[in-house]
Each structure stands twice: as structure tokens, then as C-alpha cells.
């Protein structure tokens, strides 16, 4: 998929990985709707991006991915503003073992909710243009694949297969980075809750694996979003390697 002229929605895009993905999309000619709960950071980012890439290329929408109504409204506003949706990046996420229910609601629920709701706008069978959904996950799930030597991403795999079988024209992939130098990474120790005793082990893992730059992460994203042979795949990105977990779904037309 060539990004020039495409429209993308990126959740959790005011800072960190989401911001870098939004910047990359704009650099490659796309228009981007930036969804986030941080209104101050989001509005400021959009002002900066529109100055750098031209007026009306970026749009900020205040959106809580735990809310079906807010996601629906954000998608509709994106379509009204840019004419459609070609790319959804489910990036919004938090790390907090203390409020684990909220973590699941955002990290997992938000991803599932967004993916289901965007089909209304992307589905070729109902007038959409098709496209691609990228779920930003982490290395945690992907490492299980490496140890078991088999795919461990049933959510991505089943949806990719369903899209192919149904003729929706929507590819679905997952980006699974290791530790990334972001504000979220910097606050891990304070968010471990009842697992604070594992801080030492976590630090050992960080020292062993290393820490990714945002540039390394978005390089993997670019591969997943532009390469139309990638469907139903999860890409593990570490400082010294990239590995795929490939499902047997065929690429969409």
C-alpha cells in the first residue's frame, strides 16, 4: 500500500510510539486523525504537524477507546473530514498493574472495539476502500511464539482469515516491539503494583535485550502497513533482530 493520499486513524497518538507513527504517515503523504485523551498534547501536536506538512493534514479528536460511542464519533468525524479511512493503528495503551481492569479495557478492549467499528468504514462490500489495521502490541505475546515455535496471536490470525474469507479487503497485522524509550517505559517501576518485587528481574531483561529507539519501531510499522503480502502476521522488533509469526491467511486483493 502506498501511503500517499491515504487516511489513517492512530489512537494514543499524542505522544510516544503513536506520535512517531503519525509523523511517519504524514511524511509519506497520508492524512492522519490523532486520537488521544491528552487534549493539550494532542492539539499542540496537530498544530505542529499542520505547520510542517501543510494545512488540514492532521486532525485531533479527543477519544477514550474504552467508549464505543466516542470511537464511533471519532471515525465518523474522520470520514467527514478526510473522505474515508484506509488505515487504523490501534496504539492506545497503558501499563499499570495497580489498575489492571482499566489496563485490559484500554489495551485489549480498545483494540478489539476499534477493529470491529472501523470495518463499517473500510469494508469493500459496503462501499469502503479496504485497507489495513495495525495493532501495536508488545514482545510479551510474541516471545511465546518463539519458545513454542508456533503462532500465538489468535486475535490477529482469526480476524485476518475472516477478512479474507468475507472479501472485506482489510489486512490485519500486529507490531510487537520490545522495550522502547518512551514516557511509558520510564514509569514501569512505579506501575508494577503487587509485582514490584519483579523490578530487578525486569531490569535484567532490559539490560539483556536493550532498548529500542522510536525510529526502529516505526520502521517495523512501515513494513507492515505498506507490504500488501503481510496479513495475519505479528512482527517482533528488538534492537538486534526482527522476527515474524506468520499465519496462513492470504493477502487481500
pLDDT tens track of the chain, all 253 residues? 999 999 999 999 999 999 999 999 999 999 999 999 999 999 999 999 999 999 999 999 999 999 999 999 999 999 999 999 999 999 998 866 677 788 899 989 999 999 999 999 999 999 999 999 999 987 655 444 443 333 445 567 667 777 887 899 999 999 999 877 666 655 555 555 555 555 556 567 677 777 888 999 999 999 999 999 999 999 999 888 888 875 444 444 4
Q: Are strands 241-246 and 233-238 parallel, antiparallel or unpaired?
A: antiparallel
Q: What is the pLDDT of residue 193?
A: 52
What's residue 21's pLDDT?
A: 98
Integer CA distances (angstroms), 55 to 22, 59, 106, 181, 228, in order: 15, 10, 31, 30, 29
Residue carrying the nine cell digits 501495536: 136
C-alpha cell at 102: 482499566
* CATH H-level superfamily of 7-242: NAD(P)-binding Rossmann-like Domain (3.40.50.720)
Residue spans of the domains in the chain: they are: 7-242
Report the pLDDT value the prediction gives residue 251, as an integer from 0 to 100: 44
138-143 LR contacts (CB < 8 Å, sep 24+): 138/176, 138/177, 138/178, 139/176, 139/177, 139/178, 139/209, 139/236, 139/237, 139/238, 140/176, 141/176, 141/234, 142/176, 142/234, 142/236, 142/243, 142/245, 143/236
For 84-115, the three-class secondary structure string (H helix, E strand, C coil) is CCCEEEECCCCCCCCCHHHHHHHHHHHHHHHH
pLDDT of res. 29? 98
Task: Point out the residues that are catalytic.
Answer: 145
Q: Which three cell numbers stand for residue 165?
A: 474469507
pLDDT at 249: 47
- Cβ–Cβ < 8 Å for 33, 61: yes
Amino acid at each position: 500500500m502506498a501511503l500517499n493520499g491515504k487516511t489513517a486513524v492512530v489512537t494514543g497518538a499524542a505522544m510516544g510510539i503513536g506520535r512517531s507513527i503519525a509523523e511517519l504517515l504524514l511524511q509519506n503523504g497520508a492524512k492522519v486523525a490523532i486520537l488521544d485523551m491528552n487534549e493539550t498534547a494532542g492539539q499542540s501536536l496537530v498544530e505542529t504537524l499542520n505547520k510542517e506538512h501543510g494545512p488540514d493534514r492532521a486532525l485531533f479528536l479527543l477519544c477514550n477507546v474504552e467508549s464505543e460511542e466516542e470511537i464511533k464519533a471519532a471515525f465518523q468525524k474522520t470520514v467527514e473530514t478526510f473522505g474515508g479511512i484506509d488505515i487504523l493503528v490501534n496504539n492506545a495503551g497503558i501499563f499499570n498493574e495497580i489498575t489492571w481492569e482499566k489496563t485490559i479495557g484500554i489495551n485489549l478492549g480498545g483494540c478489539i472495539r476499534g477493529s470491529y467499528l472501523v470495518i463499517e468504514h473500510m469494508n469493500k462490500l459496503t462501499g469502503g476502500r479496504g485497507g489495513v489495521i495495525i495493532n501495536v502490541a508488545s514482545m510479551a505475546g510474541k516471545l511465546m511464539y518463539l519458545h513454542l515455535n508456533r503462532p500465538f496471536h489468535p486475535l490477529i490470525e482469526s480476524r485476518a482469515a475472516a477478512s479474507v474469507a468475507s472479501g472485506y479487503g482489510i489486512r490485519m497485522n500486529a507490531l510487537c516491539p520490545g522495550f522502547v524509550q518512551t514516557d511509558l517505559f520510564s514509569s514501569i517501576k512505579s506501575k508494577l503494583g503487587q509485582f514490584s518485587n519483579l523490578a530487578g528481574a525486569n531490569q535484567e531483561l532490559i539490560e539483556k535485550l536493550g532498548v529500542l529507539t522510536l525510529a526502529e519501531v516505526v520502521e517495523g510499522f512501515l513494513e507492515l502497513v505498506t507490504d500488501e503480502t503481510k496479513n495475519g502476521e505479528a512482527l517482533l522488533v528488538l534492537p538486534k533482530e526482527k522476527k515474524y509469526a506468520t499465519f496462513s491467511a492470504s493477502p487481500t486483493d
